Amino acid sequence: MNYKLYIGKISGIKIFIHWTFVLLIAWVVYNDIKAGLETADILWSVAFIFSIFGCVTLHELGHSLTAQRYHIKTRDITLLPIGGVASLESIPEKPKEELFVALAGPLVNIVIALILLPFVTWSEALEGLGQVGGSNFLLSLISVNITLAMFNMIPAFPMDGGRVLRALLSYKLDRVKATRIAASIGQVLALGFIVLGFYGNPFLAFIGVFIFLGAQAEARQVKSRALISGVRLRDVMMRDIPLLDSKLTIRDAAQQLLAGQNKTFVVMNEGRPVGTLSHPEIIKALGEQGENASLASAMDKDLLYLDAELSLESALKELQRSKKHLALVSFQNTLLGAVDIQNVTEFLLIRSAKQK
């Protein structure tokens, strides 16, 4: 379920509202009606929700526009009932950049609060917080912005405060270690949110779950990126490529599947690669075209060549982008080997075992 409504574009960044946002409005209106509020007050509280999410959007734009300064693009900003998410294409790796990008969001909320402050009247200040209405709207919005800034600065990685913490740790420690510490603290705090959420605000429990899973995913990602950093495709590739002659049939290919561990083959014609044939392609051809079908009719003729000097990280991106099972590895027009997901996984397992 990923239905979201496009609401506009700011500085090239698309902004979306997630459909569950409707549930939040419905929930607020339902509670207002249950509390016996008048229509005008219900409208005020709905207007308040929209204003909050306006501020959340500005908060996310704070992150995105700061990231833009470091040449990091934002895919989009999505507003969820539990807050906004700016999907940056990558996370800044330099501690200083991550620090500034993380701080920019909460800073926006502080600036909003400071801008609104002079407009608060004495009567509004005396009215105080409580049920939001026309008489205390600004004051409530200021208090929300201060709360947003403070809440986001809780060092629960991957929340802003947690990113600040990792950035600060990264000045002294390597990134994997810094992330591990920040993620562990984040997960402990997330469990606290979940427990508190059960006794009070259910949104807090949701946020806790998000933080817990987010911390886990990012710690893993940083670790695997560290594992592959500095690795060239040349170091990973298979030098013995499983080959099949293009004159063979699907029956021969199926026999090769049974005979060994190979799952993807390169189809050769007069010494030159002409296609690749993967396990699912062989099974599909066997079912649809029968045993005597030619390999040429079943193979993927669109070959992906990667340079042996390419970094493993870029190679993986290429494989993912092209949705190929296997890529051929060449250097200066000479075919050296091939790479597929299995042998990359094998490489990572070996490397991570060595590092323990």
Least separation in angstroms between residue 62's CB and Zn ion is 7
Which residues here bind Zn ion, judged by CB under 5 A?
105, 152, 160
Q: Which is nearer to Zn ion, 105 or 208 (CB)?
A: 105
Q: Which is nearer to Zn ion, 108 or 141 (CB)?
A: 108
60 is catalytic: yes
Q: Which is nearer to Zn ion, 153 or 267 (CB)?
A: 153
Rounded distance, CA 137 to CA 140, Å?
5
Strand partners, 335: 330
Could you give the strand order of the β-sheet that contains 74-80, starting from the edge strand earlier in sequence?
4-10, 13-18, 74-80, 83-88
Closest CA to 293 of 258, 245, 257, 248: 248
Backbone phi and psi for residue 79, each to the nearest 5 degrees, phi listed first: -95, 120
DSSP states of 188-228: HHHHHHHHHHHHS-HHHHHHHHHHHHHHHHHHHHHHHHHHH
Least separation in angstroms between residue 148's CB and Zn ion is 9
Least separation in angstroms between residue 86's CB and Zn ion is 7
Q: Which is nearer to Zn ion, 32 or 160 (CB)?
A: 160
Cis peptide bond prior to 81, omega within 30° of 0: no
Least separation in angstroms between residue 12's CB and Zn ion is 19
Q: Which is nearer to Zn ion, 57 or 264 (CB)?
A: 57
Least separation in angstroms between residue 341's CB and Zn ion is 34
- Which of 38, 60, 127, 309 is catalytic? The answer is 60
Length of the chain: 356
Backbone phi and psi for residue 223, each to the nearest 5 degrees, phi listed first: -65, -45
- Catalogue the long-range contacts made by 170-175 (C-beta closer than 8 Å, 24 or more residues apart): 170/95, 170/98, 171/95, 174/226, 175/93, 175/222, 175/226
Q: Nearest-CB residue to Zn ion?
A: 105
**Where in the sequence numbering do the catalytic residues fall?**
60
